[in-house]
Structure 1
Amino acid sequence: DSDLVVVDDVAKLWRTDLGGRTVGAPEYCHANFTKYFTDRFWSDKQFAGTFAGRRPCYFNTGVMVLDLARWRRTGYTRRIERWMEIQKSPAGRIYELGSLPPFLLVFAGHVAPIEHRWNQHGLGGDNVFGSCRDLHPGPVSLLHWSGSGKPWARLGAGRPCPLDALWAPFDLYGPADSAAEGSR
């Protein structure tokens, strides 16, 4: 994703052992999948049965480690596209929220867990003043402004959250860059 900053050696993430799995990501278990899928999805036994026997864990698709050889061998692109085609069918939507649900349909419960330090997600909160989020407890290797609030928008509007200051040095179009342009 474009709304993240790596603050550690990314080679450490690259060396993650996927334990024979195709996808590795920080997992968040005991999730309530009902908010990701529509009534049409849950009322269809075949669709709803997709999650039978699988742990209810979600992962953020913005930060993943993939075994691309295994991905290609197993045809995961086609599996994800199949769910996207069902989503676009005249019968109506089966999920909400963009890219996450098709990945959940294919991979939920089958993801190699990666330390949460590699996705301090949810920092975006939203752009409403006072809706800032703090870091999750523990070490940090990657900051992720997932959510509707983006640091560049808040910085540009003059209403930043405290953690947006960590983004500011990487903002190529921010006020600091404009000042430098004017002094040339």
Structure 2
Amino acid sequence: MVVKSQKTDLHIAACCDQNYLPYTAVMMVSAARRLDQAYRPVFHFVAVDIADHWLTRLSEEVTRHGGDLKVYQPDTTAFKGLPTLRYGDAVYHRILLAEYLPEDIHRVIYIDADTYVVDDIAKLWQTDLSGHPVGAVEDLSRSACKTIDIPRPKYFNSGVLVMDLDAWRQQGIARKVVRYAADNAHRLNYVDQCSLNAVLHKDWARLPPRWNQQATVYKALNRHSAGSGYEKAELREAIRNPAIYHFTGREKPWLWYCFAPVKHEYRALLDSLEWTEELRPKENLGDKLEAVLSLRKQAQYLGRLMVWLFHRKRGSH
């Protein structure tokens, strides 16, 4: 009798409300499809105001792709009274992952809902954090860091995080971040991300930008003198060979008004998850016309596509 070797659990976390559930499903499926077969993806999902029958559909989808789904109910008191802006309450709950997850789980990769995984995240899982409690990619926007007066290279984007949960628990990081958010929310542009940076900006491991290829990567390369902490070669590699696309800003790939080179591939996967269709907003004619008639954005899309193709071609030689 042939005994199958047991797979190693690889832990991935996500948080969202019902509005973002279809896109969280895309993230999970894209990550599971590309994961090294020696690993089993275990998704730890903080579900904010999501009906049980939708959680069942998500669990079935994860199971079809060889994974397991663990659902957690959010702590509704921790962030009471804090502003959510357009992002909803779900953005805060990544801060409490060390408290939500069982203590026998020592590391987790947190990934935002508006992402698309195109490489094996087992490589990210194995990253040496060199004693830091979190690994992240610099936020490539020039403005995000300004409200807490942190130099741009020291300010990370919280859309993809490799978290040492033992360190978070031992140092009480979550509660420090919650306290900072409560005291300073009135002056922060991105309350959750700025609060994480205020506490951790001197204690995080820098990851290659390909692990969180933000929409602003093209500007960061073209205006490199403006102060990114990455070398131009690292930014080119993020464009040529991204591992995780992160659709920061307004341009989400499930909308017509999106000009990311990978949007058609993303939408094909989203459309294949037929059970999510009922949850997705229907775009009207005005949305489509805005996208078609936005000549500046269409030109930008073609420019990005050419840059992407150029760097991919150079990288293949």
Q: TM-score range by the shorter chain?
A: 0.5 to 0.7
Match 2:251 to one of 130, 138, 149: 149
Query: For the Cα contact (< 8 Å) 1:30–1:57, is it kept in 2?
Result: no
TM-score of the pair, normalised by structure 2: 0.40
Query: Quick one: which amino acid aligns to residue 9 of structure 1?
Result: D
Query: For the Cα contact (< 8 Å) 2:138–2:153, is it kept in 1?
Result: no
Query: Quick one: which amino acid aligns to residue 166 of structure 1?
Result: E
Distance (whole Å) between structure 1 residues aligned to residue 118 and residue 144 of structure 2:
31
The residue correspondences of 1:1-12 to structure 2 (distance < 5 A) are: 1-12=112-123
Distance (whole Å) between structure 2 residues aligned to residue 18 and residue 165 of structure 1:
34
Give the number of aligned pairs: 145
Shift of 1:101: 0.6
Distance (whole Å) between structure 2 residues aligned to residue 55 and residue 98 of structure 1:
17
TM-score of the pair, normalised by structure 1: 0.66
Query: For the Cα contact (< 8 Å) 1:7–1:140, is it kept in 2?
Result: yes
Aligned to 2:137: 26
Aligned to 2:174: 77
Query: Quick one: which amino acid aligns to residue 87 of structure 1?
Result: N
Query: For the Cα contact (< 8 Å) 2:177–2:199, is it kept in 1?
Result: yes
Aligned to 1:121: 214
Higher relative contact order (CA 8 A, sep 6+): 1
Query: For the Cα contact (< 8 Å) 2:251–2:258, is it kept in 1?
Result: no
Shift of 1:166: 3.0
Classify 1:86/1:174 alpha carbon distance in 2 versus 1 (closer, same or farther; 3 Å): same
Distance (whole Å) between structure 1 residues aligned to residue 114 and residue 197 of structure 2:
21
Distance (whole Å) between structure 1 residues aligned to residue 115 and residue 155 of structure 2:
19
Q: Which has the higher strand share?
A: 2
- Structure 2: 5+ residue stretches without partners: 1-111, 219-234, 278-317
Query: For the Cα contact (< 8 Å) 1:33–1:56, is it kept in 2?
Result: no
Aligned to 1:169: 268
Deviations 1:138-167 (A, max 9, x none): 12111110112211122xxxx442431231
SS of structure 1 residue aligned to 2:169: helix
Q: Which has the higher helix share?
A: 2
| Superposed structure 1 runs of 4+ greater than 3 Å apart | 28-35, 172-175
